[in-house]
Amino acid sequence: MPVTPPHPGEPAQPADALHDEIAHLHHTGRSHRAVGMAVGLASVRFACTTAQARRLLVRVSHRTGTDVQTVAQVLVSTHDGTATAEDRRLLTILLDHLPPAGWPAGPWPRDDLER
Amino acid sequence: MTIDATALADSLRTLVQSPADDGTLSSSLKLVVEACVDLFDVDGAGILIADEQDVLSYAAASAGPGRLLERMESEAGEGPCTESFWQAKVITSRDVTTETVRWPRLAEAMVGQPVRAVLGTPIQLGGVTVGTLDVYRERVHDWDDSEVTALARYSEVIATTLAAALEAHTAGELAKQLQYALDYRVVIERAVGYLMASMGADAVTAFQALRSTARNRRTKIGTIAEHLLDTGSLPA
């Protein structure tokens, strides 16, 4: 596909750069979402407050050298049943730093809830 | 897919200078979706913005059956746009009428309509997904990487339009929806995580439980999410 300038008059950007930028933006969006969900998940799983759950994510992040967004995404995707092979590999590292209750893995049966 | 850089520049210029733009957000969005159809050689395009129930609702559409697609998605609560909104990533379908497992209600509703291939891409403001851009073709079509990339890029144009309207206070009623999405996104996501763990469910099921509770009680989804996080249970 030919490269397109984002605004009139602006020089065109290399296709790879655009692709990278878009991938980054989407990753950012998903990361925001995953952190919120992971905090909710952890607060139930480990019977703690929201603040404690958030601190847990940060602590696991520091101890494993993994950014918080990635920690959150791995926890959410594992629970959600959408984990990739890389997610599962990372989870084995994270589990050493999570409370002993461990982390449940989906998929879960879908209820046909009333809409 | 081939996109002519000159055509893109012309379209963006039109968005800025169009006499049809009366300065309101809805007229701006209408121009954006019409330009999208011209630029990407699709048969229709539309924009859905999350309302206070976190349900995607119509904001703008090009002429044609696209409005029906948007309405059906909004009513069924499923489809490429809903999934794109929820997962914050581009979702494609080569033929929505054959998606009887992923989106059974939508697939059934679209049989007989001139809508087949659909692509939904999230619209994000400050990292928060507030809606989706959808495009469709009347025939079965495999969306390629260049189309996915280009349309994802175009959704940024829409995000910029929304942000500018919010800043200029010309967003009208949509401003409330956008502001609500931005304000409550975090608490809703946390509540979804809470329900996933307590119900033993995936994100979609948990989100549907939250949404149906809000709908049944005629309450905003953010209020239900706050109640859940405060008390540990959904309101009876």
Crossing angle for the helix pair B5-17 and B145-168, to the nearest 10 degrees: 20
Domains of chain B: 5-170 (3.30.450.40), 174-231 (1.10.10.10)
- Output phi, psi for B60, to 5 deg: -165, 150
Q: Which of A69, A78, A108 to mutate to test the interface with B (most CBs of B within 10 A)?
A: A108
Residues of A in contact with B146 (CB under 8 A): 1
For B116, the token pair is 């087949």
Q: Judging by DSSP bridges, how do beta strands B91-93 and B56-61 pair with one another?
A: unpaired
Residues of A in contact with B13 (CB under 8 A): 8
For A74, the token pair is 């791995």
Per the CB < 8 Å rule, is B88 touching A9?
Answer: no
Mention every residue, 6+ apart, whose C-beta is less than 8 A from residue B16.
none
B94 touching A (Cβ < 8 Å): no
In whole angstroms, give the CA distance from residue B127 to residue A114. Answer: 30
The ipTM is: 0.70
Instruction: Please determine, for residue A3, whether its predicted confidence score (pLDDT) is greater than 90.
Output: no
Residues of B in contact with A49 (CB under 8 A): none
B9 touching A (Cβ < 8 Å): yes
Nearest CA-CA distance, residue B160 and chain A, Å: 11
For A108, the token pair is 């879960």
* pLDDT-based confidence at residue A74 (cuts at 50, 70, 90): very high
Helix/strand/coil (H/E/C) assignment for every residue in chain A: CCCCCCCCCCCCCCHHHHHHHHHHHHHHHHHHHHHHHHHHHHHHHCCCCHHHHHHHHHHHHHHHCCCHHHHHHHHHHHHHCCCCHHHHHHHHHHHCCCCCCCCCCCCCCCCCCCC
Per the CB < 8 Å rule, is B191 touching A38?
Answer: no
Give the mean pLDDT of A7-36.
Answer: 60
- Output phi, psi for A59, to 5 deg: -65, -45
pLDDT tens series, chain B, 236 aa: 555 555 555 555 555 554 444 556 777 788 888 888 888 889 999 988 887 666 777 788 887 777 788 888 877 778 898 888 877 889 999 999 999 988 898 999 899 889 999 999 999 887 778 889 999 999 999 999 888 988 888 888 888 877 777 776 666 667 777 777 777 888 888 999 999 999 998 887 888 888 889 888 888 888 999 999 999 999 87
Residues of A in contact with B198 (CB under 8 A): 44
**Residue of chain A minimizing CA distance to B155:** A22
Crossing angle for the helix pair A68-80 and A15-45, to the nearest 10 degrees: 70
Q: Judging by DSSP bridges, how do beta strands B117-125 and B128-137 pair with one another?
A: antiparallel
Residues of B in contact with A110 (CB under 8 A): 202, 204-205
pLDDT at residue A1, rounded to an integer = 41
pLDDT at residue B180, rounded to an integer = 74
For B25, the token pair is 């957000």
Residue B10 · residue A9 · CB < 8 Å: no
pLDDT tens, A30-68? 667 788 899 999 999 999 988 899 889 989 999 999 988
| Domain ranges, ordered by start, for chain A | 17-95
User: In the block, which residue shows the tokens 């009347």?
Assistant: B138
Mention every residue, 6+ apart, whose C-beta is less than 8 A from residue A33.
B88, B129, B185, B189
pLDDT at residue B2, rounded to an integer = 55
Give buried/exposed letters for B193-223 (b at 16+ CB in 10 A, else e).
bbbbbbeebbbbbbbbbbbbbbbeeeebbbe
CA-nearest of A99, A114, A17, A87 to B215 is A114
Where helices occur in B51-171 by DSSP H, the ranges are: 66-76, 80-87, 104-110, 145-168
pLDDT at residue A2, rounded to an integer = 42
CA dist B70 → A54, B42, B59 (Å):
37, 16, 9
Nearest CA-CA distance, residue B187 and chain A, Å: 7
Burial (CB < 10 A; 0-12, 13-18, 19+), residue B175, is middle
Q: Average per-residue pLDDT in chain A?
A: 78
